[in-house]
Amino acid sequence: MGFATVWGFALAGVVAVPVRVEAHARNGLPGVTIVGLPGAAVREARERVRSGAASIGLSLPSKRITINLSPGDVPKDGPGFDLPVALATLAACGHLPTEAVRRIGAVGEISLDGLVRPTRGLVSVAEAADGVGIDLLIVPAAGLAVAAEIRRGPVIGVRSLGEAVDVVRDSKIRDRILERGRRWMRLNRSNDEETGEPDLSEVVGQRQAKRVLEIVAAGGHHLLMVGPPGAGKTMLARRLPGLLPPLTREESVEVTRIWSAAGLHTAQDGLVMRRPFRAPHHSASRAALVGGAATMRPGEMSLAHRGVLFLDELPEFSRDCLEALREPLEEGQVVVSRRNGVLVLPATCTL
């Protein structure tokens, strides 16, 4: 009989909630049960963990294994629980020292061959890890750049479940992988140069329109453009982000957090340094614009946070969608109430 705990994280909008992943192995009818309000993807972790462990030569014993995700009233969804569930289960079954995993946080999806893949919300996870006293955060190697940029404590990027097991078992291997991550960060750190962004200097003519854009950027005003097709409205709008001041570090973290939670940010690219520009189609639903829906994800207004939201063919948008923009434009945030909670998303953008 064994008991072990590892820290995992549940994503609620753009905020990560720390979750204690508790594993208990005892005599009884063999099987793995996950409790604590798990979603479908979390329940499927049982099979991924079993196959991933087998790929590195570790098998689960013929015992009754119960995995509890605490607190039990917080919905947990997504494959990011694979890695903490795997570490807690292996520790409870005697493959890992239980004391070594007790103050470890982990996030990542495990493939059937044991590889650890990145999941959405790594920025929020790195921020939440600092608040619960975790000694070490284990993330997918592909997400090391952004997680290490945010978290103040040690972060290790692993490529496979086998590497994660070695990190827990052997402090020398842990130090070696930590140094490998630091070396990779030094070699691949961005020089913060922006290339390929549309620039207003490329526009020939349109003197009055360009002057209006400069006033909008300087004063933080919203803008309504009216004109015949082909007049250059979209072309000018796409160049507005280039007139806005560069993102500060705090703003960059905010934008990266939102894009990461929405699953639109490639974690190995580090922090988002450009002002966002979003141009949703006029057939977009209210949930697509302001966020929420069943998955409680950010909408277009939040994805345009600290940037520009461009509504082309404005009259074609439904009245319901346009009315939904009123309060976020005034308050700078979106508040969405759903059956499983209230979602508050930042939405400070230029419309």
Cis ω before 241 (30° cut-off from 0): no
Contacts of 241 (CB under 8 A, 6+ apart): 197, 274, 275, 276, 277, 307, 308
Q: Answer yes or no: pTM beyond 0.75.
A: yes
pLDDT for 4 equals 96
Residue 194 has pLDDT above 60, yes or no: no
Instruction: Copy the structure tokens of residue 202.
Output: 């490329």
pLDDT digits over 1-28, tens only?
689 999 999 998 889 999 999 999 999 8
Q: Among candidates 127, 130, 76, which has minimal Cα distance to 84?
A: 76
Q: What angle do CA 122, 127, 128 make, to 5 degrees?
A: 95
pLDDT bin (cut points 50, 70, 90) of residue 47 is very high
Query: CA–CA separation, 6 vs 67, rounded Å?
Result: 11
Q: Which residue segments constitute the domains of the chain, with CATH numbers given? A: 2-188 (3.30.230.10), 200-346 (3.40.50.300)
pLDDT bin (cut points 50, 70, 90) of residue 174 is confident
Report the DSSP beta bridge partners of residue 136: 104
Q: Contact at 8 Å (CB) between 110 and 20?
A: no
